[in-house]
């Protein structure tokens, strides 16, 4: 498929990204590194890790209290991210990871109600609730899913539709006016998909996914706390599907393949637009609550 050789991505990784829109970098950091970041999670939440009766919420999006540059924390993940994006110089800095865990604790009934992923699973979406989406949007250059706990089958793993990138590419290709995050009609898009997986793995595994990929949260039948983060990689410039020198990134190539063309000039006809989601407004309150709990625990 490609003659280009990469340092961090194997030929299989490249093939996997081009055909399924995702690749998993296993052991991108150690479990000790992960533990250092996640050990205070239950204090921050105000729950007893040993007593599920105290787990008031099924899934929690925590705010971020600490950040580190990806490049320092996991040079292997960073190397792979750069290779997918077409080089470090195309990535907006600072590119950081934080402890804004998405914790999936499940609920007692999930042991009975859990179902494998299908087009009928609830909650399919493309990430990016903070901008108007265009085919070439730079705000979400990659979706990354970082595993801060082991994630077992039926254990609250993110569901991923591995044939969704072409469906979303075709949907956005002629929409020069863009699409607001809540206007995609994800039910119609996911109905065109047929391949679904659970993004399982171990602490330290990192999934790198195409920004268009459709995915969903799931029930946690096991009730082993599942911790991930999903920070976007931002690009400095919009994606370019009409490069004079042909130096397309793997992300761009995946889109061109999906559309079945060698080049695809695209220009938005309305301005790019940032949106402030409600979750960001709420975050300041939650940060204050978590800091009070950490202080009360002497941390
Ligand atoms: O919790 C998950 O598994 C996925 C979360 C997600 O996709 C999101 O918050 O955008
Ligand atoms: Fe998401």
CATH value at residue 128: 2.60.120.620
Instruction: With cut-offs at 50, 70 and 90, classify the pLDDT of residue 250.
Output: very high
Asked whether residue 261 carries a pLDDT value surpassing 60, the answer given is yes
Q: Does residue 3 lie within any of the structural domains? A: no
Q: Does residue 297 lie within any of the structural domains? A: no
Q: Does residue 190 lie within any of the structural domains? A: yes
- Ligand at shortest distance from the CA of 104: 1
Asked whether residue 3 carries a pLDDT value surpassing 70, the answer given is no
Pocket probe mutation, ligand 1, options 58, 60, 215, max atoms within 8 Å of Cβ: 215
Range of the domain at 75: 11-291
Asked whether residue 2 carries a pLDDT value surpassing 50, the answer given is no
Share above pLDDT 90 across residues of the chain, in percent, rounded to a whole number: 95
Q: Which atom of ligand 1 is nearest to the CA of 127?
A: 10
Q: Does residue 91 lie within any of the structural domains? A: yes
- The whole-model pTM stands at 0.96
Q: Does residue 152 lie within any of the structural domains? A: yes
106 torsion bin: left (phi>0), alpha (psi -120 to 50), beta (else): left
Q: Does residue 299 lie within any of the structural domains? A: no
Q: Is 230 in the pocket of ligand 1 (CB under 6 A)?
A: yes
Residues with CB under 5 A from ligand 2 (ion): 127
Q: Is 102 in the pocket of ligand 1 (CB under 6 A)?
A: yes
Tens digits of residue pLDDT in 152-187: 999 999 999 999 999 999 999 999 999 999 999 999
Q: Is 158 in the pocket of ligand 1 (CB under 6 A)?
A: yes
Gap between the Cα atoms of 168 and 211, Å rounded: 10
Tens digits of residue pLDDT in 50-90: 999 999 999 999 999 999 999 999 999 999 999 999 999 99
Number of domains within the chain = 1
Instruction: State in Å: Cα 216 to ligand 1 middle.
Output: 6
Least confident of 103-117, 223-237, 253-267, 284-298: 284-298
Q: Which atom of ligand 1 is nearest to the CA of 104?
A: 1
Q: Which atom of ligand 1 is nearest to the CA of 218?
A: 3
**Residue 269 in contact with residue 174, Cβ under 8 Å?**
no
Report, as an integer, the average pLDDT of 208-218: 98
Q: Does residue 119 lie within any of the structural domains? A: yes
Tokens of 162: 């591995």
- Ligand at shortest distance from the CA of 143: 2
Least confident of 1-10, 45-54, 172-181, 212-221: 1-10
Pairing status of strand 102-104 against strand 226-229? antiparallel
Q: Does residue 130 lie within any of the structural domains? A: yes
């Amino acid at each position: 498929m490609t003659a280009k050789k990469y340092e961090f991505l194997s030929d299989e990784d490249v093939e996997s990204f081009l055909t399924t829109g995702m690749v998993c970098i296993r052991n991108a950091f150690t479990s000790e590194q992960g533990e250092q970041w996640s050990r205070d999670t239950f204090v921050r939440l105000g729950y007893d890790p040993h007593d599920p009766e105290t787990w008031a919420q099924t899934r929690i999006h925590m705010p971020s209290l600490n950040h580190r540059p990806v490049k320092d924390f996991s040079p292997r993940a960073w190397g792979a991210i750069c290779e997918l994006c077409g080089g470090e110089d195309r990535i907006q800095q600072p590119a950081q990871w934080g402890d804004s865990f998405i914790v999936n604790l499940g609920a007692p009934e999930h042991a009975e109600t859990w179902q494998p992923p299908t087009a009928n699973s609830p909650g399919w979406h493309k990430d990016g609730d903070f901008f108007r989406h265009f085919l070439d949007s730079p705000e979400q250059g990659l979706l990354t899913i970082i595993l801060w706990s082991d994630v077992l089958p039926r254990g609250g793993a993110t569901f991923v539709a591995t044939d969704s990138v072409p469906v979303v590419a075709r949907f956005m290709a002629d929409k020069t006016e863009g699409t607001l995050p809540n206007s995609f009609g994800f039910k119609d898009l996911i109905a065109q998909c047929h391949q679904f997986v659970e993004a399982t793995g171990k602490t330290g595994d990192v999934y790198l996914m195409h920004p268009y990929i459709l995915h969903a949260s799931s029930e946690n039948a096991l009730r082993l706390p599942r911790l991930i983060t999903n920070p976007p990689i931002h690009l400095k410039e919009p994606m370019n599907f009409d490069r004079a020198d042909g130096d397309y990134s793997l992300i761009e190539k995946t889109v061109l393949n999906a559309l079945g063309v060698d080049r695809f000039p695209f220009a938005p006809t309305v301005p790019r637009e940032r949106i402030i989601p409600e979750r960001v407004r709420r975050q300041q309150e939650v940060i204050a609550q978590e800091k009070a709990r950490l202080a009360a625990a002497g941390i």
